[in-house]
């Protein structure tokens, strides 16, 4: 059998539901922890259900969980000076990546 002339490249993308919003004026909601505002930003300014657009700096706003909700898969769940949720959705665990960043890793994923 001949070997392929080009390498076979696989990609892995976690399975995440598309963002939805219950706000009637929001046609293109931004997903969790994605940009939703800031100086010069031209994308959608509304977040998926359960998230609010929070100003992080003059140039950047991000969709953050509303209230005391837990972080979804791949979201931040702790770290030095982290002020967001410190728990993960069921089926994920909070793994320390650095002292500054802890991340929700699905239990069926190698960390």
Asked if residue 13 belongs to a domain, the reply is: no
Unique residue bearing structure tokens 């960043």: 101
Pair (73, 111) in one structural domain: yes
Q: What is the pLDDT of residue 19?
A: 54
SS3 category, 37: strand
Overall number of domains in the chain: 2
Rounded Cα–Cα distance for residues 23 and 29 (Å): 9
Backbone phi, then psi, for 77, in 5-degree steps? Answer: -135, 15
Pair (72, 83) in one structural domain: yes
Asked if residue 101 belongs to a domain, the reply is: yes
Domain with 89, as residue range(s), is 68-111
Q: Has this prediction a pTM greater than 0.85?
A: no
**pLDDT per residue over 50-87, tens digit each?**
788 988 888 999 988 776 578 888 999 999 998 888 88
Asked if residue 31 belongs to a domain, the reply is: yes
Task: Tell me the torsion sign for CA atoms 27, 28, 31, 37.
Answer: negative
Q: How many residues does the chain have?
A: 111
């Amino acid at each position: 059998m001949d070997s392929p002339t080009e390498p076979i490249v696989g990609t892995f993308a976690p399975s995440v539901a598309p963002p939805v919003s219950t706000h009637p004026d929001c046609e293109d909601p931004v997903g969790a922890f994605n940009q939703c505002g800031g100086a010069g930003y031209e994308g959608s300014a509304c977040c998926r259900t359960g998230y609010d657009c929070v100003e992080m700096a003059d140039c950047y706003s991000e969709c953050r969980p509303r209230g005391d909700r837990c972080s979804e898969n791949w979201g931040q769940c702790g770290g030095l000076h982290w002020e967001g949720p410190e728990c993960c959705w069921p089926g994920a665990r909070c793994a320390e990546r650095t002292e500054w960043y802890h991340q929700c890793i699905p239990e069926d994923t190698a960390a």
